[in-house]
Structure 1
Amino acid sequence: METFDAIEKRSSIRGYKDEQISDDELQKVLSVANKAPNAGPYYVTVIQDKDLLKEINDKTKEMMLASEGFMKERASMEGYEPLYGAPTVIVLSAPETPFTQINVACSATTMILAATDLGLGTCYAISPIQTLTESYLDKLELPEGFKPVSAILMGYEADVQIESPEREVPDNINYIK
């Protein structure tokens, strides 16, 4: 697949088959994690433990139901699960610096495009990170001073997915010549 094809094909997948991705596919995705541009350290944690994923999913849903607005509405949908059944979740962590979000987002984007190229579905996620507080830091085995920032849900796309509104293409480009 060409780069532009992967960018066009990439979408947020909100429903995954109950089938783990292959180790080869995972290693290919992880091999590009550190190829992204960055201005500081970050750490990549792969979670495939079903019990831990269920725990994170359930805590995230509980947190969403206790909130207001969009998150509560989303979590109240029949059959909604915050991890969408993804068998693999990649958590990106970093120390708090001025460039933390940028470093993690660049690495995530690189891995997401690689996964798309391999035919894997992904969804960039922030909500589950809000539940990965102090009690999870030991489970994630993070280096000292690192905290979860975002996650990538990954797996084979299922036929049934949680619907999301169509994204409008913004008019947000100008030219200065």
Structure 2
Amino acid sequence: MKEIDIRPAVESDFEDMWQIFRGLIASGETYTFTADTTREQCHAYWFGPGVHSFVATMGDERLLGMYKLIPNQVGHGDHVANASFMVDPAAQGVGVGRMLGLHCMEEARRAGYLAMQFNFVVSTNLGAVTLWKKLGFSVIGTLPLAYRHANLGYVDAYVMYRLLSDPMQWPA
């Protein structure tokens, strides 16, 4: 089996990223984007100012998934990271999401973030909720009926959070 590599995303990755993005948002089950989200909007999401995107690839042949890392807030809240993940449906269930999650937390620490927050995890996205809990995230809030699921109607969304280091070691 070929090795999976995670590296910074480059412009030449965008076509494959766009295909994964389009496929995932079309279902209307896990992301707030609508099916009419444009290529330009997708590009700005993954490559906009201040966005640090990474891709998981298998050799030089196939892009398996991606994540972006940004500050959750500006100013006095910029020590908390935010991230968004997408894994090609054909690559789901084999650990790519876990690899991306672990890589993201390490990149966040390296970039000086002290905690990480996911603002909107769809409650019915059991794969994501389960993964984030296994990686140490807690549901710290429930947004009642905040997501309009294509098949289930209105469902809850979660705010999930975890510290990335011991607060006793944080800078003053």
TM-score (norm 2): 0.30
TM-score (norm 1): 0.29
* Higher normalized strand content (fraction of residues): 2
